[in-house]
Structure 1
Amino acid sequence: MGAAYFYHLTQRSMEDTLSMLLGKARGAGWRVAVRGREVSRMVHLDNRLWQGDGFVPHGLAGGDHDAAQPILLTTQSDCPNGATCIMSVDGAEVTAEEVARMERVCVLFEDYDEALNTARRQWKALKDAGASAQYWSDESGGWEKKAET
């Protein structure tokens, strides 16, 4: 059974945190689905992941080779790339069934009211369904675990 890790971004950007977590997931040998709510946001993340110091091999859902992508950026709930890890951004939904089925589910959320409320709702739903969850914050400048179910 997997676990959901909630990452509260107060100091770091979504793009930097996502890139770091994707590197760790790939290092663990996991295939990843990055799930968002808006196609335009996935296009933005796609562009950002091609830039910078670290190469992050990935694809944007809707192409001919979705199943072959080690990391697939998508707005859909399915995982055509055989993902063993889901990274939810911008309030994209995850279920307790996915937490149980995956190696890891990561919920990344920024420090503003709507994102905080969505993350709290997701935390409560997963906790009530019996899923294992951890809450991490970068408020101190480094990642600290603040809560666990």
Structure 2
Amino acid sequence: MADVLFYHLMHMPLERVLPDLLERSLQRGWRAVVQVGNEERIEALVSTLWTYKDDSFLPHGTREDGPPEAQPVFLTHTDENPNNANVLFLVDGAEPGDLTPYERVVLMFDGNDADAVTRARSHWQKVKAGGYDATYWQQTDTGKWEKRA
């Protein structure tokens, strides 16, 4: 059963945090799916992953980039795991679907958006009721993560 981590973004936007978490996932030998809340958001994240650092490359793609199974990081707006990923990142309001294919699920939400916080609380309750081991991490002023629950 997947470990589910809730990441409460407070002081840095998703675009600064997600690439580092994806890099760490790849360093572990994991593959990742990044599921966004809507299709329009995919292109912005693709652009971010191409340009977030001058000195590194984060291999990623979408259905438009060829076979999904060839992508170490796959971006989508639907509940799917076409690259046999170990970790799922739910961002920008993406709704959790089937969590069973994953070792880890990371639900990231903007703590400055009251609606996002409300949705995250609802997801927390559903995840816990489903028997998943869930932890809650909040971002500090310096961008580090503190475990809060």
TM over 0.5, shorter chain? yes
Separation of aligned partners in 2, 1:61 and 1:16: 24
Q: Please state whether the residue corresponding to 1:126 is helix, strand or coil.
A: helix
| AA at the equivalent of 1:128 | A
Residue 140 (structure 1) shift: 4.1
* Residue number in structure 2 paired with 1:94: 96
Aligned residues: 145
CA contact (8 A) 2:34 2:76 kept: yes
Aligned residue runs from structure 1 range 60-71, under 5 A: 60-71=62-73
After TM superposition, the score normalised by the length of structure 1 is 0.91
**4+ runs of 1 displaced by more than 6 Å?**
none
Aligned residue runs from structure 1 range 1-149, under 5 A: 1-53=1-53, 54-95=56-97, 97-98=98-99, 100-111=100-111, 112-141=113-142, 142-147=144-149
- Structure 2 residue runs of 5 or longer lacking an equivalent are none
Residue 55 (structure 1) shift: 1.6
Residue 39 (structure 1) shift: 1.4
CA contact (8 A) 2:62 2:76 kept: yes
CA contact (8 A) 2:32 2:72 kept: yes
CA contact (8 A) 1:35 1:76 kept: yes
Residue 145 (structure 1) shift: 0.2
- Structure 1 residue runs of 5 or longer lacking an equivalent are none
After TM superposition, the score normalised by the length of structure 2 is 0.91
CA contact (8 A) 1:43 1:60 kept: no
